[in-house]
């Protein structure tokens, strides 16, 4: 199946529609895209409101746009069908003070504009339309080839990978044995992944990839593994005696062992100590 077939069946006028393929270049923004779409939609809408010179020229000729985001390598998920009205040039200084744009910069690493380079930027007012709303988070296409991220709908011959039964913007949860997360992944976990980690108690491993040093920890309590990992990622340095000397951006998290959700803390700590012994993290690691 091709995207064009779906658009035709839904009565979408391709000659007045652009397709926007969101693939941010900033690693933090790219990794957090599913989180932003699900939890901070106003920030996503702000992100869609300004574009490159070439993309702006295309969008000004089209009244509507189909929005897709790459949340898995090689796949893009449908986010929504929008009206996109060009409202003119907006001063860069004003844009840089917009709370949503500031959040894009502060939380996800998007660069702000320097007035010396661009005194103003073209700005669009985007409004979500009801058409195709039932396919949001369900329709997935193969990432089209080419660098241009705004395309003409009638020219985009995209392959449809699937139309899933339930909406999801993030990849399927890999299971605890395969789970290995970077710090920025922990900070912007998809909702379904966070729910799993909130339910699980267990023993975990942190590896500092700057030098391979290892730390074994245990998690229990109200937020379980999720809460403990979020504590480790809360700042620029870690939260224990040894980890507070280290940059959290190099941390990698994995689960060594899951335990019963009602296991007493003292029993979990005892298991944690056996892992420290087996991995020698007291003598050669970060469990001083």
Model confidence over 30-57: pLDDT tens digits? 889 999 999 999 999 999 999 988 999 9
Residue 57 neighbours by CB distance under 10 Å = 12
Q: pLDDT at position 117, please?
A: 60
Long-range contacts of 166-169 (CB under 8 A, 24+ apart): 166/137, 166/138, 167/136, 167/137, 167/138, 168/77, 168/137, 168/138, 168/192, 169/33, 169/34, 169/37, 169/38, 169/69, 169/71, 169/77, 169/79, 169/137
Q: pLDDT at position 116, please?
A: 47
> pTM of whole model > 0.85?
no
The residues with which 259 forms a beta bridge, in sequence order, are 201
Residue 55: alpha-carbon gap to chain centroid: 23
**Stretch 71-95: mean pLDDT:** 93
Q: Does the pLDDT of residue 96 top 50, yes or no?
A: yes
- Which pLDDT band holds residue 114 (cuts at 50, 70, 90)? low
> Reading across the β-sheet that carries 251-259, which strands appear in turn?
180-182, 251-259, 201-208, 213-219
Residue 231 neighbours by CB distance under 10 Å = 15
**Stretch 11-28: mean pLDDT:** 93
Among 77, 69, 63, which Cα is nearest to 30's?
A: 69
**Stretch 216-228: mean pLDDT:** 95
Q: Does the pLDDT of residue 86 top 50, yes or no?
A: yes
**Stretch 70-87: mean pLDDT:** 95
Q: Which of 9-13, 50-54, 205-209, 255-259 has the lowest mean pLDDT?
A: 50-54
Q: pLDDT at position 13, please?
A: 94
Q: pLDDT at position 254, please?
A: 98
DSSP letters spanning 83-96? EEEEEEEEEHHHHH
Q: For the chain, list the domains and their CATH numbers.
A: 3-163 (no CATH), 180-279 (3.40.1440.10)
- Which pLDDT band holds residue 214 (cuts at 50, 70, 90)? very high
**Stretch 132-160: mean pLDDT:** 95
- Which pLDDT band holds residue 199 (cuts at 50, 70, 90)? very high
Q: Which of 28-37, 66-75, 100-109, 116-125 has the lowest mean pLDDT?
A: 116-125
- pLDDT, one tens digit per residue, over 144-155 is 999 899 999 999
């Amino acid at each position: 199946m091709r995207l064009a077939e779906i658009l035709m069946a839904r009565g979408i006028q391709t000659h007045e529609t652009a397709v926007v393929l969101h693939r941010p270049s900033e690693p933090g923004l790219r990794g957090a895209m599913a989180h932003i779409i699900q939890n901070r939609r106003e920030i996503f809408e702000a992100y869609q409101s300004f574009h490159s010179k070439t993309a702006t020229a295309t969008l000004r000729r089209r009244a509507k746009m189909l929005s897709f985001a790459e949340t898995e390598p090689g796949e893009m998920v449908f986010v929504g069908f929008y009206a996109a009205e060009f409202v003119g040039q907006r001063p860069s200084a004003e844009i840089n003070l917009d709370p949503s744009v500031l959040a894009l910069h502060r939380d996800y690493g998007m660069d702000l504009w320097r007035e010396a380079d661009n005194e103003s930027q073209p700005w669009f007012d985007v409004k979500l339309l009801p058409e195709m709303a039932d396919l949001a988070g369900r329709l997935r296409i193969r990432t089209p080839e080419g660098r241009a991220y705004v395309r003409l709908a009638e020219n985009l011959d995209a392959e449809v990978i699937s139309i899933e039964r339930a909406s999801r913007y993030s990849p399927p949860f890999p299971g605890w044995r395969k789970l290995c997360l970077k710090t920025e992944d922990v900070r912007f976990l998809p909702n379904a992944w966070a729910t799993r980690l909130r339910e699980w108690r267990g023993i975990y491993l942190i590896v500092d990839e700057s030098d391979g040093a290892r730390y074994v920890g245990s998690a229990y309590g109200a937020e379980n593994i999720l809460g403990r990992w979020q504590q480790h990622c809360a700042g620029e340095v870690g939260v224990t005696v040894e980890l507070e000397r280290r940059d959290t951006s190099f941390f990698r998290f994995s689960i060594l062992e899951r335990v019963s959700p009602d296991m007493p803390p003292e029993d979990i700590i005892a298991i944690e100590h056996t892992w420290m012994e087996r991995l020698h993290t007291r003598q050669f690691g970060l469990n001083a």
